Amino acid sequence: MFQKTDFWIGLAVDVVAGVFGYRFMQERENQFALLGAPASTGELPLAELQRQKEELEDLIAAQQAKK
């Protein structure tokens, strides 16, 4: 089994995929931490919600001004 080339190629591909997947998940956790949002509860802080609300209101006003 360990003498077959296909086994070693498959093992190498799995290890590389695992490393990339792990790094991707670590980057996502860091992005959530930078936002200040708790990753486990899925809740956004009030300041972030206010910022999003103001941004949406600005977009709505811009769309209405075009009409």
**pLDDT tens string 15-60:** 999 999 999 999 888 888 777 655 456 677 888 889 999 999 999 9
Query: Whole-structure pTM over 0.75, yes or no?
Result: no
The residue assigned the tokens 């899925």 is 42
What is the distance in angstroms between the CA of the first residue and the CA of the last residue of the chain?
70
Residue 22, phi then psi, degrees to nearest 5: -65, -45
Spell out the residues 6+ positions from residue 44 whose beta carbon is closer than 8 angstroms to its own.
35, 37, 52
- The pLDDT of residue 54 is 94
